[in-house]
Structure 1
Amino acid sequence: MFVDHRLAHRKAYLINLLARMCAELDITESRFQQAKERYEGVARWLAAGEHFLLHDLSIYLQGSTALGTSVRPIGKNEHDVDLVAFMPSGTTVWTPAYIKKVIGDRLKAHATYARLLEEKIRCWRLVYANEFHLDITPAILNLACRNQGELVPDKSLREWKGSNPRGYRKAFEARAALVPVIKLTKALDEEIKSRADIEPFPVASSGRSILCNFVQVAKRHRDVHFEGQDLALWPISVILTTLIAWSYERCVKAGVYDTEFDLMIAVLRGMPAFIRRTLPDGSPGWYIPNETTIDENFAERWNDDPDKAEAFFTWHAKAVADMENLARVDGTDLVRKRMDESFGPRPVGAAFTALDNEIASARRSGLLRMAPLVGLTATPAVAAAVPVRSNTFYGRDCG
C-alpha cells in the first residue's frame, strides 16, 4: 500500500494545529466544572420551590457544551452553556408562557440569581460575567414521541414544539465513537507485523473525538466568515453539527482515507447531501429533521427566509475551498496566514505556540512519534509509533 509519507506528515501537522486550536476555543475543564456546580445549584433551588410544577425538576446540559463542540464567541471571554429545565409534572394543559414564568418567579426569589437574571424570548439567562452564561429553557415530556422526547416553548410562548436534546446527544455520541480507516494506519500496521520488536498499535484515546474537532473547526470558520454580517443569516450550530455528524458516519463507513485531514475534507464536502428539499407533507421546502423526535425541522427558518439557505451554501463553499487550499500551502508562515484568515489570529497563534513547544520538548527528550490517528504526538505510551527524524516536520526543513 503506497502512502505519501511526506504529504501525510504535512497534513498531520495541520490536523494537530486544528485540534489545538479547538482546545483553545473550547470550555476548559475547570470552567466546565464551575458551570456544572452552578447549574446544579440552580436545579436544587428550583426543585425546592413550592409550586408543584417544580417538584422533581431536573436540569441537564444540551447543545454544544453537552456534545463537546463548544466554541468561544469571537470577542467574548465567556461561553454559552445551554440547559434544559425538565418538569415531569408539566403537561400541555399549561402554556409555555406560564411554565416559563414559574421558573422565572422562583429564580427571582433568590438574591444572587435575581441579580444575574436576564429574560430571553424562550428561556431565562444567568450571566456570570467573563465566565459563561447559563440559558435555562423549560421543557415537559412529549407523549407523542417514542424516544422520550420533550416539548419546549416556541418563540411566541403560545405553542409547544418538539425537541429531544438527550436523544440527539446519544445519536451524536454513537457517531463520534465510529473509528475511521486511515491508510497511514494500515501502512504502519503492515510494518508492525513485519517487525517482531514493535508491539501492536493501541486504539488512540485523547478524550476528544475526531467528530467533535470537525464540528468545532466548521463552527469557528462560520463565526469568522460571518463576523460583521447580519447575525440572522448565520447557519445555526445545530445545522452544522447535524450535517457534519451524518456526513462523518457515511464517510467512515464507506471510505478509506490517506489521512485524517483528507477525511475532514470529505466530511465537509458531503454536508449538503443530507439537506432535503421536500417537507414531510410532500410540499417543497428545506428540511433537516431531528431524527430523534417528531415535528422538528432544524431548517424551518430557511423556509421563512431564503437568504438563510443561500448564506449557508455560500459559507459551505468557502469552508471547503479554504480547507482544500490549506493543504496545498507550503511553509509555516503561509500556513499561519491562511489559518489566521479562516479562524482568527488569537486561537491560531495559541495553537502554533502549543504545538511547536510540544514538538520541541518531545524532540529534545527523544519521544517524538508519528501516530496514525492523531498525527504528531508526544507520548512514550504509543508503542507502535514511527520515530520522526529531527528537523523534518512540516513548515521547517521539509519546505
Structure 2
Amino acid sequence: MTLLQNSRGLGSLNSMLGDGLRSLDITEAEHGTAVRHYTALGETFSDHWDLTRGDNVITPQGSFALGTVVRNIHRNDEIDLDAVAIRDIDKTSISQAELKTDAGIPVATYARSSSSGYPTVTECERCWTLHWANMHLDLLPAIPNREPLESGILITDKEVREWLRSDPTGYADWFRAQMREALTAALEAKSMQIDEVPEWQIKTTLQQTVQALKRHRDIYFSDHLEDRPASIILTTLAARAYTGGDDLYEVLRSVTNQMRFLMEHRNGTWWLANPVRQEENFADSWAKHPERAEWFFRWAEDVANDFDGLGVKSGLDHTVPLLASAFGDRVAKAASFGYASAVNNARSTQQLHVASGGTLVAAATAAETSRKARSHGFAGGSTN
C-alpha cells in the first residue's frame, strides 16, 4: 500500500518517524524509576554533606534534562542518565582528587541500600557510574565556579590538574531557547502550561531530530564506538541548524544537510564552541584524534543522504527497510506497528478511504475521488 510521503496524515513519513522515535523514549515507568534514584541519591548526598553549609544540590543534566534520551543499541537498548552533585564549597578548601573520592562515599552508601536495587558502581575519569539491568547513571562531582565574572561549576578530571569549567544549566537554558517557540506551540495546542508538563512527555522536532541523529550515529559506529562524535556535538549542531517547524521529516533533512558546514576550522583545529562558554571547544579531542574528524564528516554526509533517501520512494516495502537500516529494528517495528494501528483505527471508525493510485487516507485528508476501504472480519471476509 502506498504511503503519503508529503503529509502529516495517515502513513506519512512524519507519523512513521514519530512512532519509531517514540520507541527510543524513556517510558513513564523508567522516568519514575530515574526520579526515585535521583531523589534517593540526593538525600544520601545531603546526609553525607550535612556539615557543608550552603546550597548542596544534585540535579539531572545532559540528555535527561534536554528531553533527548535514547536507548543505547550497543548496550541492549539501556537508558543512559546523567546527574551532577554540587558541593557548595570553595575550590581552595578541597582538591579535585579529594572531591572525587569524597563523592564516591555516598554513591557506595546508596548502592548498598535495599531501595537502590543494588547497582554495581564503577569509577570513570570524571564521574561515578551506577549500573542497573536496563539503565545506568553517571554522577559528576562538582563545586560552584566562584571566580570573578564566572558562573556554572568546576568539575574534576583525572587527566587534568586544573579544575575544568562547565555550565550544564546554562547549556540547557540555551537549548530550550532554541526550541522555545516550538515547545510553546505544542503545549498551547494541548491547552497546557509549560510548567505543568514534564518535558519528556512533549517533544519538539528539535528533540526528536537529536534523538534520530544519536540513534543513527550509534548504529553507524557500532564497530568503532570510540570514533563516534560526542552527543554534545550532535545536539549543539542540531540546535544551531534548527529553524523550527512541525514537519519532522523536513526538519531532519534541513538539519542533516546543514550541520557539517557549521563546524569551524581555527588555525588548523576543528572547533565547535560551547554556546554558553565560547572559549570551550566541544571538538577538542579531534586534535589528538584527527581520525574522529574524518569519521564525523563521512558520517554527516551519509546521514544526510540516508534521510534524503527516505523521501525518494513511497510504500512500506521501501520505507520500513530504510528505517531499519538507519535506526535499527526497534524503530522500524514501532513505525510499522503505529501505521497498522492507525489503519485499523480508521477502518473500524469508517474513516479509511483509498485515494486514486491506491493511497490509504483518513477521512480528514481523503480526496474527493477516494472511496471507502472495505472492512474485513477476523478471517478476512468482508463485513460490508
| TM-score interval, normalised by the smaller of the two chains | 0.7 to 0.9
Secondary structure at the counterpart of residue 137 of structure 2: strand
Counterpart of 1:237, as a letter, is: S
Q: Give 2:236's aligned residue.
A: 242
Q: Distance in 2 between matches of 1:269 and 1:217?
A: 14
Q: Give 2:122's aligned residue.
A: 118
Q: Give 2:57's aligned residue.
A: 58
Q: Give 1:89's aligned residue.
A: 89
Q: CA deviation at 1:150?
A: 1.3
- Pair 1:307 & 2:291 matched: yes
Q: Give 1:270's aligned residue.
A: 258
Counterpart of 1:83, as a letter, is: A
Alignment of 1:249-398 (within 5 A): 251-252=243-244, 259-278=247-266, 283-293=267-277, 295-365=279-349, 386=365
Kept in 1, the 8 Å contact 2:306–2:326? The answer is yes
1:276 to 1:92, Cα distance in 2 relative to 1, 3 A: farther
Kept in 2, the 8 Å contact 1:56–1:87? The answer is yes
1:15 to 1:7, Cα distance in 2 relative to 1, 3 A: closer
1:8 to 6, 14, 31: 6
Q: CA deviation at 1:27?
A: 1.0
Kept in 1, the 8 Å contact 2:4–2:12? The answer is no
Kept in 2, the 8 Å contact 1:97–1:157? The answer is no
Q: Distance in 2 between matches of 1:334 and 1:10?
A: 18
Structure 1: runs of 5+ lacking an equivalent: 181-201, 370-375, 392-399
Kept in 2, the 8 Å contact 1:161–1:296? The answer is no
Identity among equivalent positions (%) equals 31
Kept in 1, the 8 Å contact 2:229–2:296? The answer is yes
Q: CA deviation at 1:55?
A: 6.3
| 1:48-72: CA deviation from partner (whole Å, max 9, x where unpaired) | 1157458642111111111111110
| 1:64-84: CA deviation from partner (whole Å, max 9, x where unpaired) | 111111110114142111000
Counterpart of 2:252, as a letter, is: M
1:334 to 1:294, Cα distance in 2 relative to 1, 3 A: closer
**Equivalenced residues, count:** 344
| 1:3-25: CA deviation from partner (whole Å, max 9, x where unpaired) | xx965238971122111121101
Q: Give 2:197's aligned residue.
A: none
1:83 to 1:366, Cα distance in 2 relative to 1, 3 A: farther
Q: Give 1:224's aligned residue.
A: 219
Q: CA deviation at 1:29?
A: 1.8
Kept in 2, the 8 Å contact 1:48–1:55? The answer is no
Kept in 2, the 8 Å contact 1:239–1:299? The answer is yes
Q: CA deviation at 1:294?
A: 5.2
Kept in 1, the 8 Å contact 2:49–2:87? The answer is no
Q: What value does the CA root-mean-square deviation take over the aligned residues?
A: 3.1
Counterpart of 1:242, as a letter, is: T
Counterpart of 1:136, as a letter, is: L
Q: Distance in 1 between matches of 2:258 and 2:34?
A: 35
Q: Give 2:31's aligned residue.
A: 32
TM-score by length of 1: 0.77
Secondary structure at the counterpart of residue 9 of structure 1: coil
Counterpart of 2:156, as a letter, is: P
1:6 to 1:167, Cα distance in 2 relative to 1, 3 A: same
1:175 to 173, 178, 191: 178
Q: Distance in 1 between matches of 2:154 and 2:96?
A: 9
Q: Which moved more, 1:60-69 or 1:112-121?
A: 112-121
Kept in 1, the 8 Å contact 2:220–2:299? The answer is yes
Q: Distance in 1 between matches of 2:361 and 2:106?
A: 50
1:92 to 1:335, Cα distance in 2 relative to 1, 3 A: farther
1:340 to 1:54, Cα distance in 2 relative to 1, 3 A: farther
